[in-house]
Amino acid sequence: MEKQGFRKNLINIEPYVAGEQPKSDNIIKLNANENAYPPSPMVGMAIAEFDSSVLRKYPDFSAEPLKSELAAYYGLTPGRVFVGNGSDDVLAAAFRAFFNGDEPILYPDVTYSFYPVWCDILKIPYKTIPLKDDFTIDVADYKIKNGGIIFPNPNAPTSIALDKNKITELLDANRDVIVVIDETYIDFGGESCVDLLDKYDNLVLTRTFSKSRSLAGMRLGFAMGSEELISYMNAVKDSYNSYPVDAVAIAAGCAAVKDDKYFKDTISKLVSTRERLIKEFDALGFETAPSAANFIFTRHDKFSAKEIFAFLREKGIYVRYFNKPRIDNYLRITVGTDEETDKLISAVKELIN
């Protein structure tokens, strides 16, 4: 119904809905792609040793220690790193800074559901490009006039990564617009485009500490690009909140980046659990996309996604079900610990047998 009076000026958006946060501790929570393992012990130490008297002062407004740590890790200069409160905050700054043209921006029809929300809020015109039937991105579809491109690699909720040579093809065809690749899940299997940043000055990568670095509760994300593009993101950020990352988060983030062994060990544990889960699910009649992420995207040949979702929920296992076109018979399931995965598999067996 058309809104009347002062209500006609209210914002018209369909709000983003995050995965449910259960109240009970007994739930196996596989619905928000959080890391199954805690952050590095060095993060705990950094927080325990944090001198709370410094909280009297504002944090370093540019998060310089963290930018320097990240820059050194990825072989960039600190001026090519942007830091924000989780990659949602980073992506919001990117949308504001880069997508100001009249042509529609492009992104896949099945993708991270925050993109349409930002387009609506910021009144950015957009066009969704359907994924192929197997849920892959066909870069040929992105060779049309546009005002910018964004997609996650690997994509969410499909978990499928796009080959680097395909990404280069997309970038070669789109030199006049900014291309943002949301690398939220890249550490779990895809090939990062960090090394393409020098060749493509219109490329920006967004990253997070929420997934591979187990810090979803801390809210830390970052972007990498040319000094020029990063300066535009900083200008946007400084214009609405000039102190985005708090002092404790800066210390925790630095500690997380320093502990590279823990980071790699955690990823390798999750990747092997993921491959075991896919194999066991195959044997139970599931069809699962080739995952390069810390979650799987799967459907069953006899039981509907909605049915499996409801059954697992009853058993105290939360997974993600999307009541949306094309994907309403799929479940997105976060890879848990080995123990959680065993419980998930037993619960599914109970339903199927």
Report how far apart, in Å, the C-alpha atoms of 128 and of each of 109, 142, 335 are.
5, 10, 28
- Say how far apart CA 228 and CA 135 lie, in whole Å: 34
Q: How far is the CB of 188 from ligand PMP (least distance, A)?
A: 12
Applying CB under 6 A, the residues found at the interface with ligand PMP are 86-88, 112, 152, 156, 182, 184, 208, 210, 216, 221
Nearer to ligand PMP, 121 or 216 (CB): 216
* Closest distance to ligand PMP from the beta carbon of 351 (Å): 27
Q: What is the dihedral of CA 55, 57, 59, 61, to 10 degrees?
A: 170
CB nearer to ligand PMP: pick between 174 and 208: 208
Least distance in angstroms from the C-beta of 250 to ligand PMP: 16
Q: To the nearest whole angstrom, how small is the minimum distance from the Cβ of residue 193 to ligand PMP?
A: 15
For the purposes of burial, counting CB atoms within 10 Å of the CB of 66, is it exposed (0-12), middle (13-18) or buried (19 or more)? buried
Query: Exposed/middle/buried for 65, CB within 10 Å: 0-12, 13-18, 19+?
Result: middle
Q: Which is nearer to ligand PMP, 151 or 232 (CB)?
A: 151
Q: Which residues of 299-334 are buried (b: 16+ CB within 10 A; e: fewer)?
A: bbeebebeebbebbbebebbbbbbeeeebeebbbbb
What does R_g of the chain's alpha carbons equal in angstroms?
Answer: 21
Closer of 86 and 190 to ligand PMP (Cβ): 86
Taking the least distance from each CB to ligand PMP, the nearer of 117 and 308 is 117
Q: How far is CA 112 from CA 118, 124, 183, 273, in A?
A: 11, 16, 12, 24
For the bound state, the minimum distance from the C-beta of residue 46 to ligand PMP, rounded and expressed in Å, comes to 19
- Alpha helices of 23-76 — where are they, by DSSP H? 41-48, 64-74
Give the residues across from 223 on adjacent strands: 82, 206
Name the minimum Å distance from CB 145 to ligand PMP: 25
Helices (H), 187-245: 227-240
Q: Measured from the CB atom, is 209 or 286 closer to ligand PMP? A: 209
CB of 88 to ligand PMP, least distance (A): 4
Provide, rounded to whole angstroms, the least separation between the CB of residue 91 and ligand PMP: 6
Which of residues 67 and 300 has its CB atom nearest to ligand PMP in the complex?
Answer: 67
> Residue 241 CB, nearest distance to ligand PMP (Å)?
15
What's the closest the beta carbon of residue 115 comes to ligand PMP, in angstroms? 9
Long-range CB pairs of 37-41, under 8 A, 24+ apart, other chains included:
37/214, 37/266, 37/269, 37/270, 37/337, 38/214, 39/213, 39/214, 39/215, 39/218, 39/252, 39/256, 40/213, 40/214, 40/255, 40/256, 40/259, 40/262, 40/263, 41/259, 41/262
Query: Closest CB to ligand PMP among 136 and 300?
Result: 136
CA dist 92 and 333 (Å) reads: 26
Considering beta carbons, is residue 105 or 348 the nearer one to ligand PMP? 105
With respect to ligand PMP, which residue has the nearer C-beta, 146 or 206?
206
Inter-residue contact 247 to 54 (CB < 8 Å): yes
